[in-house]
Structures are given as C-alpha cells and as structure tokens.
Structure 1
C-alpha cells in the first residue's frame, strides 16, 4: 500500500501487513478499505483476498484500487477455499513485522495500527498478540449495545485463558499479531471454522497475549453471518467438535477445566442463534439427535472423556 498519503516518513518504522478478506461483501468492502487507507500509521502493506465472491465484490475491489491509486496485492480465488486457507495463503505474501486480518465488512479506527504498534514496541518479546475492545454495529452501521461478559486483561498462559468464557473475548479485527509467531507455532488450522480462538490457545501454550485499552474497530454483525445461516450449521457443529477434540486433552488443563470447557461449548451450540432457532435446526440437521445427546450429557455432568467414549461407541463424529 502507498505509505505517503499522510505525508509521514515511514522509514525506520516496522512494516505492518494488513490482510483484508472478502466474500460477498460488495456493500461494505469500500468502507473497510477506506478505513485501512485512513490509518495514521504510515508503513502498511495491504493484501486483499477475495474468496470467490458471487456478487460484484471483485469488480468493486478493482475499482477501489484504481480510483485510490493504491499499491497492494490483490488475489481473487476462482473457487471458495474458506477463511483459514485464505489467510494461510495471504501469510505467504506478508512481509511485515506485524500482521492484522480484517473482514471486508468491518471498519478500523484511524489510530488502531499506530497505537498497537507503539504498545508492541515497548512490550517483551514473548508478547505475540495485542488485542483491544471493539464497537458492535449492524448492517446499516448503527451501534448495537452489547454486554461485556468478562473484564479484558492480559493473558499469560493457556489454562488462564481457557478458564474464562473465552469464546469471543478476543475478536480478530481488534488484534495485532507479531508475525513471527506463525513460524513458531504454525499457521491457521484449515480444518477449523473458528480460526482465531484456536490460534490464541496455541499461542498461549508458550507465549503471552496483551490487552491494550482502546476501541480498535467496528465489528459488523449481519443476519447472514455464519452462526445465523442454517445451511452452514452442520459445518459449524463439526468444527466445534474438532476444536474440542484438539484442545480439551491439553496437558495444561485440569479435569475441572476440561469438564467446564466441554459443557460451555456444547451449551454454545444451543445458543448459536437463539433457543427457538436452535431447535428448528435440530430437525434439519443429520447430526441433530446426537447434538441433543451431547447437550444432555454436558448438562448431566459427564466429563469430556466419558462423552468421547460414549459417542465413539455410538458411532458419532468426535475427532480424536
């Protein structure tokens, strides 16, 4: 991305690679890209990834690039690969010391990158992620009041983070990542749908995550989001169970944390949309009976390991 639009000298400043991911977001993508261009921080590399959008997103991205005379890397897929594969592909082109991913319906505040880079530069080398708070908006850009379930704070180890209601604490758009962490722990897990929570947990096995107190970006909630689309519910269920199988056997966790984590995530299936929609989805989903069964086992207090043995005996999908 052109780094002189603010009239600032980028020499000597760490490069930040921003990856903007797009899938059928023609109505919002220009707002996202403008928010990247409007960053006060001057040394930014922009990479735009379109994952085979079926709307006019690709044409609008090209139009935005030409009209704003922006230097960037634009990759347009001819088949849909999913968010994790798309981000892993983008990482191959990232040259920055720091890395930011943002969906093309969200909006960065102008000082987001600058303030988090400043915080990184005075932090210890074992801090690999800095995250901040965020503002929730709807499809029209109006603010949606939200209830903050936990107090934001620094996280220094795996079990510390896992012990909280961690799902959704750290929202990807609010984050700046030290890019070298991917060389140390590996890239996004392409078998999962929720790429970010898995990444935070893997990072915390060896490194630290730091909270910086600011409102970093606007996170747009749409009715077509993954957790509100019935046709993708089976995929979401599979991914969550894969996530459970991957993390709940971790050596850093106590039995109580394993059991609590299992209960929390199975109950999460219940509240993905809302209770009414969840029961409607049960009827349509081929794994519906066993989803109910898992929820019942968690509610009755079965441990994760007991649930695995029972479900394997019944032939239910639970990854090892």
Structure 2
C-alpha cells in the first residue's frame, strides 16, 4: 500500500440524506487500498449529518468537516481538498455512486501517463432517483477527447464531471475552484485544460444521479446564477485564446449560450453574451445580429423554446 499514491476523496453533501448511504458505501467498497476520505457537509437541513455521524462511528478512518454555514459547492470543496493530503483528488457528490474499480482503474491509467496529464475522466451511467438506468454518457455526448482538449471544452460539453480524477498539482496551480461562481465544472475545464492534458478512460466508472434537485435542472430559469457564472467563465476563456481554432470554438459556445439566454428571457445575460461574441468573432453573424436587436427590445419569443423542448424532449 505504501507504494501506491494516496487518493483523497472529497465527499460533498448538501441535503443528500436519501442518497447518502449508497454513496458512502460505494466509496468504502473501492478496491483501491490507499484512500483518504473527507466528508464535507454544507450545513444540510435534512437528516444527512445524523447519517454521517453513524458512518464516522463505524469507520473511524473517515474525516468530517462542517462548513459552519451554507457556502455552496465551490467553497465547500475547497475546504475539503485543502485539508487533504492525496496525490490525486476526487470531487464526489454524495448523490452519485462510484463503481468498485473506479479509483484503481484511473490511478492505473495515470501511472501510464506523463506528468503533462492532469485529469483522467471516464464514461458514466446516468440513473434516476430510484437508481434505475437511464442512459450512458457516451451515448449522448460523443466523441470523447484526449490530450490537449482546451478548444474542445470551449466548444461543447463532453466530460461527465463526477468521473474526473485530477492530480493535486492541478488544484494547487488553479488555487482550487473559483468561489465566486455558482458551479465549478466549466471554469475548471477551461483553466486546467489550458495547461494540462486530459485522458479518457472508455469504461463506466460512476453512476451519476439525475433528480429534481440536480443543479442543472434550472439552468436557464430567469435570474439563475448558473448562467451568470457561465458568462464570467466565457470572459475568462477569451483572455486565454491562442489560436484561430480556439477563437472559433469559443464563438460556437457563445452562440449556443446567447441563444438559450435570449429564448429563456435572460435578456441581460443574453446581451452580454452577444457583446462578447462580437468581440471574439469580429462581427455578429446575421442571425445573432437579429437576436441582438430583438433582445435589446426584450421581445419575448420564449414560446419557441418551449415548443422545441416539447418536441425534442417531450416536456
């Protein structure tokens, strides 16, 4: 065991009482022997802390941190990883489930890669509230990417966040997650992929749970802080561009975000995204000039997005 690198699993809990036992059991069932497990509770208001205390009593090797007040995912995670000592860091939300070989497989892949690789990610199975199979990440988001993925993370969503295992140096270089943001994934990908390479493991290692309280369910609701965070990250990304491919990739992302912001009635964010698109692309394409004009006058065409959602997703 002493020759194996220490892996720190930062278990983030906020009102996950319904899912907490299978989540923690999945960490304890890992075949990888050299683990440091830190449970961070962000002031849950359900029965989560009582369940955590049961596990702490039964498994004294577990460590526990309470945030003291509700601080959000980014700050709670930073508290956890900064208290850890592992060579590798796993950000684990306690509504998800790790498969038993998860950490062993990813550490083994890291041991075959050079130090320029900062992140290993994998395929995942999406499950429902009741743990029923929904679909595989690789079926919906393909193809995966390896190596220098900076342009690709600007262009599109393809990494399932809970499948990532990262070198400690990555978090040290970045200073952890940006605590001003409402969510961490996009910003972490942009900043880490600028310096480090990514490797894909084409194996299902994780079950990601989709439920009504999932962060992404209200992404484009008016006033949602997630969209404002996306805008902030896009501005950061614009300062990191080096090539024409990267510029086009960010422009593609901005078009997508601006469309959805406008058609969901987020007129302020849509305007700022369209302005950034003009700066990045040099000029606004005709369609986006039209959207910009409609957006300035707050012409509500949200019914078109609702019709599309019903056609595309049956809702």
Q: TM-score range by the shorter chain?
A: 0.7 to 0.9
Structure 1 residue ranges without an equivalent (≥5): 1-9, 271-277, 283-287, 315-320
Q: How far did residue 64 of structure 1 move?
A: 2.1
What are the equivalent positions in structure 2 for 1:129-278 lying under 5 Å apart?
129-145=119-135, 147-162=139-154, 164-165=155-156, 167=157, 169-229=158-218, 233-254=223-244, 255-269=247-261
Query: Structure 1 length normalisation: TM-score?
Result: 0.79
Structure 1 residues 143 and 70: CA distance shift in structure 2, 3 A:
farther
Q: Do structure 1's residue 12 and structure 2's residue 12 form an aligned pair?
A: no
> What is the rounded CA distance, in whole Å, between the counterparts of 1:293 and 1:178 in structure 2?
37
Q: Is the 8 A contact 1:24 1:55 kept in 2?
A: yes
Q: Which moved more, 1:257-266 or 1:96-105?
A: 257-266
**SS of equivalent residue, structure 2 residue 40:** strand
Q: TM-score, with normalisation over the residues of structure 2?
A: 0.81
Matches within 5 A, 1:296-315: 297=274, 302=278, 304=280
> Which consecutive residues of structure 2, in runs of 5 or more, have no partner in the other structure?
285-291, 297-315
Q: How many matched pairs?
A: 280
Task: Give the structure 2 partner of residue 65 of structure 1.
Answer: 56
The alpha-carbon deviation at position 186 of structure 1 amounts to 2.5
1:41 is paired with a residue whose SS is coil
* 1:290 matched to 2:279: no
C-alpha RMSD of matched pairs (Å): 2.6
Distance 1:41 1:126, change over 3 A: same
Higher helix share: 2
Q: Report the equivalent of 1:318.
A: none
Answer yes or no: is the 8 Å Cα contact 1:157–1:206 preserved in 2. Answer: no
